Structure 1
């Protein structure tokens, strides 16, 4: 939003000098912004006012030029310890708070670190003094079902908030139990629901300049708490600042890398007899992709969304756009003697426009040869999703595919995000796919496609909840592929930012300045169809579009919005 406002100011006052977006992201008040712009202007003309005190120091210059655009897959690679061995920054010479988080490992880790000369102690919370470090063991907690596993994400986010409110510098370490390869192969289906901790760490690495972030994933097997503590301590004291390291039982260290691989599509495996349930498919990017799949397959699509479809009055129907609708609705309220707040007016008009978009999507699917219907559904409510699936079978027959495209954003820094905002973003993705999987448990699915985001892989300013939720989707997809085998195409698509939807023209320019190429709507829709038809069915977790984001250090210089 600050970037959008600044862009408008620069359009209105073209004589203003260029400004550093990283500095703009750190300014909290209009007074600071005015002072900064004045200082920039003075600098351009030889003046000498002082810089604002709150700035973001980059460890390296922002990435410029085009990033790799297309299709990337994740590979697990072995990473030997570099010589000479180095401890993690922020471990030696600082107080280290070990948060057990219900794992039962805390005491053993404190003992192992203390024996190694580290000033470690057990802590109930992740609140830390300035310069102290925290090791969070919540991800090692034993869980018996998806509910308990998913709760690990919320507890870890709460701990990150505690840390961010008091600490600066030091290090923040999260430890998970996803099989020692970050859920890429040896993760259990239950553990996959806790996979968001890596997304949290990736976002923290962007938001917390000056703090060292590390994710450690442990293959637990039958290791005792003491043995796990030794494994973690060894990595902390010898693994340096490598940001993500998986530790296997055989002693090998692993990390995840991306590599470009073409989709190599064949014939579209979905046909006219298929019935596909699509969350979030009535509007936006998901709708664009489903229209293209309808063109290629002639299948039946049941679109689930939050918006209730209501018939428009003739006066509303005559208003062609947002501005005209607002005038009509406001005039109606005045005539009726009622008062509408700006939020109420926006909600009313937004509902009307959403209905138009949904009807247009259904009509376009029908026009290109598919069959479509829309069902108002709360994707986070198990009963609502189950009822929608029952109605689908009664009308169209067995469900053969699920596409989970629903998603919302509530961008705030970790330190500022509310519980309600976290729940809204996280539950739409994670509880949504849980409900869809439960409601189709008895269906013989041939397609399971989840819309994830590059934010899960790279982190993104203000989107810790979104990165965490999408990383859970990624690992749930991997687990589902392993469970379902060749009979079902399973994909988790980590989309980069699209040239449409929430990406405004000013943000488009901002992404381009970072070297992040946006996905054209038509190109993205074809990518989606090609991915479903890809012969690489074993490649479940795929990054599409501007797949490899700039480094965390470069992203700190921007207020970025994810896919």
Structure 2
């Protein structure tokens, strides 16, 4: 089953007080994006006392020595990301020396900061969780100290209600041993043959494997949601072209000429093959299987799918949100549209699913809502500021929703899966990980770990990596 997985919980840890002399800011020009709650005004006053040229602005931009963005603190604020990304990019590429982001749960700003700090190592980039009931003048003092503090290499900190400065770090937290297999325990306690599980991104990649594992263990009904149209017929006419390289050659032989046409056709055919294979595998183990072609960022479409599932089955017992996309590239080169696509697929998709799940009426509430994230959100990753932000946002939303959701909310931050699992790791990236000695999660170990987490776990946010993988983050 491949390398064993290490399970970690993300806990608060003391970070030590921010240390720095406000005198280092003397004469600098600092832009403060307004929060509308009085914190920006209090910070401007505190900065001016130290001869800093501070001004309240509408958004982050170039032309400043430092930026403090407090827009996440605005009452009734729409999510800061992805809208704020172009301003952050302009500020960072324009040479801003300090970027401090006031954060709220689910904003994704910590994941963004962790990644941006890796790409701009000479810039102070830090996301700061501020306690919402703190006095504005106290918040201003905390932010002033963060602007002055270049020590510790921390891109992510927070303040408790008592004013203690903290950060969040993964720590080993293995599940307790059990005499039962996870599948048996899951079928007995959470899901049975009459249960219904809906999975997004579930006809392809690691969530497809998760769907098959859930069905094999419990005999549940499986409802899949994906953007790939459901394939018609039994094949694609290129049966002898088994991989992308062979398929490109076959498509050129069929008359396609431009690289864009060839790549688009190859991607479509490979996606359809994966959907066909998943549906065929599920047909043999699930009580029933149905595929829905829908975009998880479309709230109305998600609501219609969920309502249809409940109308047919009278219940919806579990949701796995595995939909995601990658548009990797360094922040300075990343187009805002690409950032938005990556971020909204994860985050808007999760919000839409949670909202639809809550509309259960007289039918039973779901037993669980599982969000598939990535260690990129926990540690940051060069070239993945959008993906890291999205996955960090999932963690924050899960922690918030767990306080009111009727069932369990779980956010799983996965390490990289082997390319054969169909996840986000390409064969090229798999070879790069191998050169660095980074172990990858095998499909069997990954699905076993998820079943065990559902059966025995109780934490909201967990990190699951191949043994030895945590040493490389």
Q: TM-score range by the shorter chain?
A: 0.7 to 0.9
Change (3 A) 1:477 1:124: closer
Aligned partner of 1:126 among 21, 43, 60: 60
How far apart, CA to CA, are the structure 1 residues paired with 2:150 and 2:383? 29
How far apart, CA to CA, are the structure 2 residues paired with 1:363 and 1:173? 50
Contact 1:216 1:244 survives alignment (8 Å): yes
TM-score by length of 2: 0.86
Q: How does 1:21-40 map to 2 (within 5 A)?
A: none
Aligned partner of 1:545 among 457, 465, 469: 465
1:161 matched to 2:89: yes
1:187 corresponding residue in structure 2: none
Contact 2:197 2:223 survives alignment (8 Å): yes
1:231 matched to 2:142: yes
How far apart, CA to CA, are the structure 2 residues paired with 1:325 and 1:126? 46
Q: How does 1:320-469 map to 2 (within 5 A)?
A: 320-321=241-242, 322=244, 325-326=247-248, 329-332=251-254, 334=255, 341-443=258-360, 444-469=365-390
Aligned partner of 1:105 among 1, 20, 39: 39
How far apart, CA to CA, are the structure 2 residues paired with 1:263 and 1:434? 28
How far apart, CA to CA, are the structure 2 residues paired with 1:326 and 1:237? 54
Q: CA deviation at 1:294?
A: 1.5
How far apart, CA to CA, are the structure 2 residues paired with 1:387 and 1:251? 45
How far apart, CA to CA, are the structure 1 residues paired with 2:310 and 2:333? 44
Contact 2:197 2:318 survives alignment (8 Å): yes
* 1:302 counterpart SS class: strand
Change (3 A) 1:510 1:197: same
How far apart, CA to CA, are the structure 1 residues paired with 2:50 and 2:201? 52
Q: CA deviation at 1:340?
A: 5.0
Contact 1:138 1:156 survives alignment (8 Å): no
Q: CA deviation at 1:524?
A: 0.9
Change (3 A) 1:435 1:369: closer
Contact 1:315 1:328 survives alignment (8 Å): no
How far apart, CA to CA, are the structure 2 residues paired with 1:236 and 1:325? 53
1:95 matched to 2:17: no
* 1:483 counterpart SS class: coil
* 2:402 counterpart SS class: helix
Change (3 A) 1:123 1:369: closer
Contact 1:281 1:406 survives alignment (8 Å): yes
Per-residue deviation, residues 336-392 of structure 1 (Å, max 9, x unmatched): xxx653322332333232222112112212323553221111111122222222332
Change (3 A) 1:238 1:173: closer
Aligned partner of 2:12 among 55, 71, 76: 76
Q: CA deviation at 1:304?
A: 0.5
Q: CA deviation at 1:297?
A: 1.3
Aligned partner of 2:156 among 226, 239, 244: 244
Contact 2:369 2:407 survives alignment (8 Å): yes
How far apart, CA to CA, are the structure 1 residues paired with 2:151 and 2:318? 45
Contact 1:125 1:162 survives alignment (8 Å): no
How far apart, CA to CA, are the structure 1 residues paired with 2:55 and 2:294? 48
Contact 1:291 1:368 survives alignment (8 Å): yes
* 1:399 counterpart SS class: coil
* 1:516 counterpart SS class: coil
TM-score by length of 1: 0.73
1:519 matched to 2:441: yes
1:212 corresponding residue in structure 2: 124
1:499 corresponding residue in structure 2: 418
How far apart, CA to CA, are the structure 1 residues paired with 2:340 and 2:448? 32
2:71 corresponding residue in structure 1: 138
Ranges of 4+ aligned residues in structure 1 off by more than 6 Å: none
How far apart, CA to CA, are the structure 2 residues paired with 1:270 and 1:328? 44
How far apart, CA to CA, are the structure 2 residues paired with 1:283 and 1:360? 9
Q: In angstroms, what is the RMSD of aligned CA positions?
A: 2.8
1:556 corresponding residue in structure 2: none
Contact 1:455 1:466 survives alignment (8 Å): yes
5+ residue gaps in structure 2?
A: none
1:171 matched to 2:89: no
Contact 2:202 2:211 survives alignment (8 Å): yes
1:306 corresponding residue in structure 2: 227
How far apart, CA to CA, are the structure 2 residues paired with 1:315 and 1:214? 50
How far apart, CA to CA, are the structure 2 residues paired with 1:459 and 1:68? 23
How far apart, CA to CA, are the structure 2 residues paired with 1:526 and 1:208? 38
How far apart, CA to CA, are the structure 1 residues paired with 2:344 and 2:431? 31
Change (3 A) 1:320 1:220: same
Q: CA deviation at 1:222?
A: 5.7
* 2:398 counterpart SS class: helix
1:200 matched to 2:112: yes
Change (3 A) 1:488 1:402: same
Change (3 A) 1:427 1:164: same
1:282 corresponding residue in structure 2: 203
Q: CA deviation at 1:93?
A: 5.2
1:39 corresponding residue in structure 2: none
1:149 corresponding residue in structure 2: 78
1:116 corresponding residue in structure 2: 50
Q: Across the two proteins, how many residue pairs are aligned to each other?
A: 450
Contact 1:245 1:253 survives alignment (8 Å): yes
